[in-house]
Amino acid sequence: MYIYAFGSVCRGEIDRYSDVDLLAIVETQMDTLNFNKDDYSIYSESRIRELWDEGNPFAWHLSIESKLIFSSTGKDLIKNLGTPSKYKNCTSDCKKFQRLFEEAFLSLTNSCDSSIFDLSTVFLAIRNFATCYSLGIENRFNFSRDSALKLESHPLKIKSECYDILKRSRILSTRGKGENFTYEEIIGVKDCLLQIKKWFEKFKIN
């Protein structure tokens, strides 16, 4: 069993939204029962190896930004796995996250019943899209929570208040932390969605 810290804490990217991301790599399904899935991302060793072979962005993320905290074997599995394969699924991943945005956009347009969840999904879509695009097209590592703002080509430019609401909604819907939203905040951020839609359309993903 291996335990790693990864993400913002390893980048020194600390803000009021920061949390400590922990990864547990286990050998068997039974081992997963020892971990609280709210506190850990839990992967089997075989799945981690698959991610490396796929050149999955998460594998690149871990290879660049993770720190070993505990190893039951005395070895550092991630270090020993070396460099992940070249990232091959950039096009399909980017399209997937663009579709994810479109579904959230449609839901937000049609009803208010899941508006905060939908805003949270918008944030997930722009962040993951930007991370995949940076790795696959720009050949850059951009694993920041704010990866969309840090793209080389077409960084996302929306009002910071809107961006902050998207970010807050993501924290609220996953970690259950943060202030609840006012009606005005939700309406305000809906105005930025068209800008985000146009931002996605700037990228030529084939």
Out of 38, 82, 183, 198, the residue judged to bind other proteins by CB under 8 A = 38
Q: Are residues 133 and 156 in contact, defined by beta-carbon separation less than 8 angstroms?
A: no
Region from 9-17, 98-106, 129-137, 198-206 binding other proteins, contact rule CB under 8 A? 98-106
According to CB under 8 A, which one of 64, 77, 81, 100 is a site residue for other proteins?
100
44 touches other proteins (CB under 8 A) = yes
- Verify binding: residue 184, other proteins, rule CB under 8 A: no
Residue 85 · residue 99 · CB < 8 Å = no
Angle between helices 115-136 and 57-64 (to 10 degrees): 70
Burial category of 199 from C-beta neighbours within 10 Å (exposed 0-12, middle 13-18, buried 19 and up): buried
Query: Does 118 contact other proteins by CB under 8 A?
Result: yes
Please report how close the Cβ of residue 195 comes to other proteins at its closest, in angstroms: 22
Smaller CB distance to other proteins: residue 71 or 107?
107
Q: How far apart are CA 148 and CA 128, in angstroms?
A: 8
Q: Calculate the alpha carbon distances from 75 to 6, 24, 79 in Å.
A: 17, 14, 9
Token pair listed for 109:
């347009």
Partners of 43 in the β-ladder: 25
- 6 dihedral zone (left: phi>0; alpha: psi -120 to 50; beta): beta
CB 155 within 8 A of CB 147: no
Q: How far is the CB of 124 from other proteins (least distance, A)?
A: 8
Query: Applying CB under 8 A, does 180 fall inside the site for other proteins?
Result: yes
Cβ at position 165, least distance to other proteins in Å: 12
Q: Is 179 in the site for other proteins (CB under 8 A)?
A: no
Contact set with other proteins (CB under 8 A): 32, 37-38, 41-44, 46-47, 50, 96, 99-100, 103, 107, 111, 113-118, 120-121, 124, 169, 172-177, 180
